[in-house]
Amino acid sequence: MNSQAAATIINLLAFLTGIVLYTMLLVMLLGARRNAAPTHTPTNKLPLATALLGLSWNLGAFAVFGLERLSATTSLAGIEAFAFTALGFLPAVVVHSVLRSGETMRGRSLGLTWAAYGLSAVASALHFVNVVTAQQVPSHVALHLLTFGFTALIVLLLLLTLKRQGWQQWWRSAGWVIALAVFAVSASHLSHHEGAEYAWWVELIGHHSALPLALVILYQDYRFALADIFLKRALAWLSLVGLAATLYFVVAAPSLAESSASDPRVVGVLLALWIVTALSYPALQRGAHWLVDAIILQRVDYEVLCADVARIATQSEDPEALLTAVCRRIAQALTAQRVMWEVVAETEETARKIQPRFLSRRKGGHAVPAITTEPTSKVVAAVPVLTAEAPAFRLLIGELAGGRRLLSDDWTMLEAVALLCARRIDAMRVTHERYEHELQAQEMTALATEAELRALRAQINPHFLFNALTTIGYLIQEAPDRAVQTLLRLTGLLRGVLRRSEGEFTTLGEEVELIADYLEIEQARFEARLRVTIDVPPTLCALRLPALLLQPLVENAIKHGIAPVRSGGEVIMRARVEAATQTLHLCVQDTGAGASSPQLAQGQQHGIGLANVERRLHGHYGTRARMQVQTAVGQGMQVELTIPLPAAEALSASIAYAAAPNGGLK
């Protein structure tokens, strides 16, 4: 294969590659414009113009160049003039984007921009004049005009930008200077192209200067600049095309030169090359992504970064601490001078009305927060953290190292981090509100329980007083002297009851003393018919329990157990601690009349004593405490209370109880 044939194939392949790349760029731009908030400045029209002009040049050049090489007789002068018009306007857009970047156009900037568009317009007119007059297209005069005109503009533009930025920042102008210089060389080459043959690399540079021009425009005006999504896809596609071309020239072309295309071996080789090319694309794509992220942009793995932020969010219980940690992590990843957060009043709903620029696109019906570029030099972007309820927050991204810009993957990462923080803050608030509601519910339940317990205990005091006064009334009739002594005991007993009513809990020792005083009053009534045994070790007297918990049981034993029996009976009260279950066991037993099951059920339902004690017991301890009643007609009754104890109290009481097993009050 000679060099001209190779140049033809490479040119056609390059035009096809340009068509794919510019179509890809056009689709991405249109998709971004459709999903973006309606606050874009006119500057963003320049990338769209770039995509349309580049696509027009490659489509027209492919049609004309391909048919020309195929010796087609159809006249395509109009298409060729249109294609060269598109190519001629690309450097004007570059000049526009360079002068537009960073400040409002006025004075010399506006003049240079009009001069650039004027050169392109005159060249376009010359191309179409040649079409009408049936002269050669493209117009050599137009191409020379573009070559010398934009060479002069390069010098003027370079002087103007260096004056603005300073000579120390000359490297910032290198990109567009090289791109415009390549275009000038390209225009000069195309003006001498007719009838000449050049090497394939000269043809490639001469016909495809549009691509560096497009990259410069994107760098000046849009977030797909040089790197990121477009660059990754472009590099992946270029790698695929390069691999296909290499395999063709190295393997396929020699095989076709030695054999006919119908040779089965040649067909097999071509099929194998197609399969190898197809299977290589995923690896080429990964390589392009790695090259852009790790080598060109030198940025961290954003998937790992998002995982780190998720871990930070999971470990954080405070919105301020979460946002501070996230800002520190983002600053490290973006090499930003500073990343801060601030509180904003808007929520997700009000932000749609007040600041629609915060919402870039919708996914599944939900708004996705977008980054907004700030006009200040200290803050290059703001990322809203839109929570479900006010207050919302905003991340402020400071200047990046080296003056670089936020690219598409940077924006995607920041949006993902903002959403993650917003949802975590919402979860924190829900958890906090739920905790407050539960705390309020617990406080209300505690107040209600306390009120109920006070009411239950208030039932005991008049009930006990009524029975004591009945006993004294009996003694006044039978033994007046003893009635006076009993009345004095009752007075002391009531003082003790009133003292205990100030607190909900008392000690077991105080409760036993109260019961002993009460039993002395009752013994004045029953005399020898009432026998009392109290077996409570002194080591247990410090244990705390609800006040007046045992007195109703003793009173119930005397009233329903001892009183109905002519011969009387014995009332026994015992206490013990079970260390294994950490419980205090209190038992009140009588040897009196006892009760049948129906009588017991009726008494628990309508009586005051047993029902009152059981309700108070459950009110204080819940299901951890219990009351067991054992009775039978003629065999007395036994009531045992089981009360949970704190582990420390249960252990110390059980040790003391084991050390003095026979100690107690009788």
Residue of 346 and 258 predicted with greater confidence: 258
Q: Residue with structure tokens 């930008």?
A: 161
Could you tell me if 311 and 290 lie in one domain? no
C-alpha separations of 356 from 36, 346, 416, 423, 448 in Å: 10, 11, 18, 20, 50
Burial class (CB in 10 A: 0-12, 13-18, 19+), 595: buried
Could you tell me if 271 and 333 lie in one domain? no
Residues 559-568, mean pLDDT to the nearest whole number: 89
Res 71: pLDDT: 54
Residue of 210 and 303 predicted with greater confidence: 303
Could you tell me if 102 and 117 lie in one domain? yes
Residue 256 lies in a domain: yes
Among 172, 196, 223, give the residue marking a domain's end.
223
Q: Does the structure show a pLDDT above 70 at 135?
A: yes
Q: Does the structure show a pLDDT above 80 at 531?
A: yes
- CATH number (domain holding residue 501): 3.30.565.10
Looking at mean pLDDT, say which of 115-124, 147-156, 213-222 comes out highest: 115-124
**Cα–Cα distance measured from residue 530 to residue 562, given in angstroms and rounded to the nearest whole number:** 7
Q: Does the structure show a pLDDT above 90 at 588?
A: yes
Residue of 389 and 607 predicted with greater confidence: 389
Residue type at position 89? F
Asked which of 106-110, 533-537, 624-628 is least confident by mean pLDDT, the reply is: 106-110
36-55: per-residue pLDDT in tens?
544 444 446 777 888 888 88
Q: Does the structure show a pLDDT above 70 at 532?
A: yes
Res 569: pLDDT: 93
Res 364: pLDDT: 40
Could you tell me if 216 and 255 lie in one domain? no
Residue 590 lies in a domain: yes
- CATH number (domain holding residue 204): 1.20.1070
Could you tell me if 427 and 490 lie in one domain? no
Confidence of residue 498 (pLDDT cuts 50, 70, 90): low
Residue 413 lies in a domain: yes
Q: Contacts by 133-136 with C-beta closer than 8 Å and gap 24+?
A: 134/77, 136/194
Asked which of 105-109, 413-417, 489-493, 643-647 is least confident by mean pLDDT, the reply is: 105-109
Q: Does the structure show a pLDDT above 90 at 407?
A: no
Could you tell me if 262 and 321 lie in one domain? no
Could you tell me if 387 and 492 lie in one domain? no
Residue 308 lies in a domain: yes
- Sheet strands (E) in 551-652: 569-578, 583-590, 626-631, 637-644
Among 298, 314, 349, give the residue marking a domain's end.
298
Res 39: pLDDT: 42
Please give the backbone phi and psi of residue 554, each rounded to the nearest 5 degrees, phi first.
Answer: -65, -40
Beta bridge partners of 589: 572, 638
Residue 471 lies in a domain: no
Confidence of residue 218 (pLDDT cuts 50, 70, 90): low
Q: Does the structure show a pLDDT above 50 at 282?
A: yes
Res 427: pLDDT: 92
Could you tell me if 642 and 558 lie in one domain? yes
Domain count, the chain: 4
- 80-91 in b/e form (b: 16+ CB < 10 A) is bbbbbbbbbbbb
Contact between 60 and 83 (Cβ < 8 Å): yes
Closest CA to 633 of 598, 583, 582: 598
Among 250, 268, 298, give the residue marking a domain's end.
298
Q: Can you give the residue range of the structural domain that contains 185?
A: 3-223
Res 122: pLDDT: 92
439-493: per-residue pLDDT in tens?
888 777 766 766 665 665 555 556 667 767 877 787 788 778 778 888 888 887 7
Could you tell me if 395 and 525 lie in one domain? no
DSSP secondary structure, 284-326, as one string = HHHHHHHIIIIIIS----HHHHHHHHHHHHHH--SHHHHHHHH
**Cα–Cα distance measured from residue 632 to residue 635, given in angstroms and rounded to the nearest whole number:** 5
Residues in the chain: 666
| Mean pLDDT computed over every residue of the chain | 76
For residue 636, what is the DSSP state? -
Res 625: pLDDT: 93
C-alpha separations of 338 from 90, 325, 373, 400 in Å: 37, 13, 15, 8
Closest CA to 557 of 491, 618, 631: 631
Residue 458 lies in a domain: no
Cis amide linkage into residue 552, ω under 30° from 0: no
145-188: per-residue pLDDT in tens?
888 887 787 777 777 766 665 554 544 555 555 655 555 556 55
Could you tell me if 97 and 135 lie in one domain? yes
Q: Does the structure show a pLDDT above 80 at 288?
A: yes
Please give the backbone phi and psi of residue 298, each rounded to the nearest 5 degrees, phi first.
Answer: 50, 50
**Cα Rg of the chain (Å, integer):** 48
Residues 216-232, mean pLDDT to the nearest whole number: 60
DSSP secondary structure, 241-297, as one string = HHHHHHHIIIIIHHHHHHS-TT-HHHHHHHHHHHHHHHHHHHHHHHHHHHIIIIIIS
Residue of 517 and 185 predicted with greater confidence: 517
For the chain, counts of helices (H) and of strands (E): 21, 12
**DSSP three-state, residue 119:** helix
Could you tell me if 516 and 649 lie in one domain? yes
**Cα–Cα distance measured from residue 542 to residue 575, given in angstroms and rounded to the nearest whole number:** 12
**DSSP three-state, residue 580:** coil
Q: Does the structure show a pLDDT above 50 at 354?
A: no
Contact between 308 and 329 (Cβ < 8 Å): yes
Q: Does the structure show a pLDDT above 60 at 358?
A: no
Could you tell me if 491 and 505 lie in one domain? yes
Q: Does the structure show a pLDDT above 70 at 423?
A: yes
Res 74: pLDDT: 58
Res 115: pLDDT: 87
Asked which of 5-9, 123-127, 487-491 is least confident by mean pLDDT, the reply is: 5-9
Residue 457 lies in a domain: no
330-348: per-residue pLDDT in tens?
999 988 888 999 998 654 4
Residue 440 lies in a domain: no
Residues 531-542, mean pLDDT to the nearest whole number: 92
**Token duo for residue 334:** 């973006």
- CATH number (domain holding residue 334): 3.30.450.40
Res 48: pLDDT: 82
